[in-house]
Amino acid sequence: MRILGLDPGSRACGYGVVDDDGAPRYVECGVLTSEPAAAMEVRLGEIARALREVIDELRPDVVAIEDVFAHAQHPRSSLALAQARGMALAVVGIAGLAVASYPPALVKKAIAGGGAAKKDQIARVVQALVGLASLPRADATDALAVAIVHGRTARTPTARLVSSVRRP
């Protein structure tokens, strides 16, 4: 099963692809970016186009995406993240892929053993799990972590399926 993990953002969207038939095998990861000074709709449009290219090139079977983390002290950040996540879900839906959604704390716990794990901890565990020689950007390792978690839990009720649309 080829899994595309996504860590959506309005300025950068991390993606990570693993093939998982019992153990994750690294395929590719990266960060889709946009012009930081551009308007929100332009940034999201640029990331959406790039995400569609990733999907067309790498042909995942399923997408695993991180849930929105609500920042009570920074509601505008939560809103921007929700808009970016909605854009990613729309692109994935147009591609006809099923989506599994995971809370950030569950990803952290599944990868590093604790829901309060720091980003560098997650990155080091991901690096070891898929045998990366060097660490990619944090957004990419976060996306790989989501993909790895989906591979581990796809056959259990832990994964909440957002959509069951399948590519023809």
Q: Quick one: how far is CA 57 from the chain centroid?
A: 17
Exactly one of 20, 67, 139, 142 is catalytic; which is it? Answer: 139
Q: What are phi and psi of 6, to 5 degrees?
A: -130, 135
> Which residue, among 30, 28, 18, 9, has the nearest Cα to 150 in the 3D structure?
18
pLDDT of 20 reads: 94
pLDDT along the chain (168 residues), means of 10: 95 95 94 93 96 98 87 72 93 96 90 82 92 93 96 66 43
- Annotated active-site residue 66? The verdict is yes
End-to-end CA distance of the chain: 16
- Annotated active-site residue 28? The verdict is no
- Annotated active-site residue 139? The verdict is yes
pLDDT of 119 reads: 84
Q: What is the pTM of this model?
A: 0.88
Strands 12-20 and 62-66: unpaired
Q: What span, in angstroms and rounded, lies between the C-alpha atoms of 102 and 39? A: 28
